Structure 1
Amino acid sequence: MLKVYTDCIAQLPAKPIVIGHSYGGLIVQLLLQQDAAEAGVAIESAPPLGVVALSWTLVRSVLPMLGLFSSSKTTFLPSFTQWQYAIANGLPLADQESSYERLVAPESKKVIREALSLRARVDFRRPHAPLLFLAGGTDRIMPPAFNRANFQRYRHAQSVTDYHELPGRCHAMLGQSTWREDATFVLRWLSKMELATVTFRA
């Protein structure tokens, strides 16, 4: 799951800031566990193994992707209706249609199911670089309660772990008209961390 990222990071002159969305948010958390990043931002993150929060919208969104009664060697391609419900519920219809045509591709069920395996395990008591969780207020597939439960599992008192919920953001947060506002929030949070290797400009 991580080798392609750790191999890339190993070629850099300094630890990077890592930012990931959804499954990428889980990758961010796992990279911080390996002390491979200067800081991390997990946007509407898939949770590590063992993080649980009850949500009907999550169950309705995720079960088709997991395809638990099908082979892991097959892929999952969401229908437009599934895309509308689980991912793009906060976008205008025209943007839902265009984003579906541009972005949707078959996903590996094997990769998705790894989020339920020991490879997705995090030691929440371990020291880690600064970590910010961003939750979308109307996110159905990774709802705020799930992101909050993930955030609350982190226990190391001397490590910075922050949580912020953005109202009106669906799972396609990065494609909404508010993306500049959200990017500015992340930039300001990172600047407060006083990271030694990065200079930020407004």
Structure 2
Amino acid sequence: MTTPESPTTPPPSAAPTPVLFIHGLWLHATSWTPWVDLFRSEGYAPAAPGWPGDPDTVPEARANPESIADHGIDDVVDHYAEIIGSLDAKPILVGHSFGGMIAQKLLGRDLALAAVAIDAAQIKGVLPVPLSALRATLPVFKNPGNKHRAVSLTADQFRFAFGNALPEQESADLYEQWTIPAPGKPLFEAAAANFNPHSPAKVDTGNESRGPLLLMSGGRDHTVPEAVVRATLKQYRHSEAVTDIIDFPDRGHSLTIDAGWREVADAALTWLRQQSL
């Protein structure tokens, strides 16, 4: 005769939901550290793995730009897909800039529970390219050979592309703390997306079965202006899957790393709770 389990025995707690943070160009994965700490305190299992070839630290990345060079969008997507495949459960993805594009591609392939795409780089089908976005990426596009190189920003270039909504000193401090060289290839691929039927910047925006997606935009973002994020939202109009947007009118492209990062992170957490995630 078997003895039934005591009704007072608590059930085993569910494993925490994994969260993967995906950085964009010119920022090191460790720039997500405050987010990782916050999400862990909220009961998730977060991690911020770098792009393929990314060294472990900012100084190492600056000293070895060749390790980062020539990785395109598909390389990065495959890299994170492999990481996801090693997890025990589908993760939530949080991506910034090109990381936001990567998160959307992985979500469209049903590899994630949900995604938060913050100031996400333009996907195939998005047409507006504001002048500020062209100026922000000029350090790469001014030399066609940069497609196969890693390119660094100067402090002034970082201030225009990331820190324009910040006090000058804060922008300078963030530049010193987090910036690394970035591969030029993803920018060239995104720029040619609407002329290439097989562009790696293409996202399955019509997927009805995917998890929920939250787009976030900064109203003062020079690199990915609000118009680009709004145009991205329209690309999802043929899908009934949840697609939401939150605007931060006074924020620039640095909104994930500057002094106001917690407001953005809390908005993401609130939305995830609304999705029962």
Structure 2 length normalisation: TM-score?
A: 0.66
- Say which of 201, 210, 235 aligns to 1:120: 201
Deviates more, 1:136-145 or 1:123-132: 123-132
Residue of structure 1 in register with 2:251 after alignment: 169
Residue of structure 1 in register with 2:221 after alignment: 139
Matched residue SS, 1:70: helix
Show structure 2 runs of 5+ residues with no match: 1-74, 194-198
> Considering only CA atoms, is the larger Rg found in Structure 1 or Structure 2?
2
- Asked whether the equivalents of residues 109 and 204 of structure 2 are also in contact (C-alpha less than 8 Å), the reply is no
Whole-angstrom CA distance in 2 between matches of 1:71 and 1:157: 36
Whole-angstrom CA distance in 1 between matches of 2:157 and 2:232: 25
Whole-angstrom CA distance in 1 between matches of 2:131 and 2:125: 18
Whole-angstrom CA distance in 2 between matches of 1:152 and 1:119: 19
Show structure 1 runs of 5+ residues with no match: 196-202
Whole-angstrom CA distance in 2 between matches of 1:32 and 1:4: 14
Matched residue SS, 2:145: coil
Percent of residue pairs bearing the same amino acid type: 35
The one-letter code of the counterpart of 2:102 is I
Whole-angstrom CA distance in 1 between matches of 2:185 and 2:242: 32
Q: Does 1:83 align with 2:164?
A: no
- Asked whether the equivalents of residues 9 and 16 of structure 1 are also in contact (C-alpha less than 8 Å), the reply is yes
Residue of structure 2 in register with 1:106 after alignment: 181
Whole-angstrom CA distance in 1 between matches of 2:157 and 2:80: 30
Deviation sequence 1:167-202 (CA, Å, 0-9, x none): 21110001232222221111111111123xxxxxxx
Cα separation, partners in 2 of 1:93 and 1:192, compared to 1, 3 Å: same
Whole-angstrom CA distance in 1 between matches of 2:129 and 2:184: 22
Note the C-alpha offset of 1:61: 1.0
Note the C-alpha offset of 1:24: 0.1
- Say which of 71, 74, 87 aligns to 1:12: 87
The one-letter code of the counterpart of 1:121 is K
Higher relative contact order (CA 8 A, sep 6+): 1
The one-letter code of the counterpart of 1:95 is E
Residue of structure 2 in register with 1:200 after alignment: none
Structure 1 length normalisation: TM-score?
A: 0.90
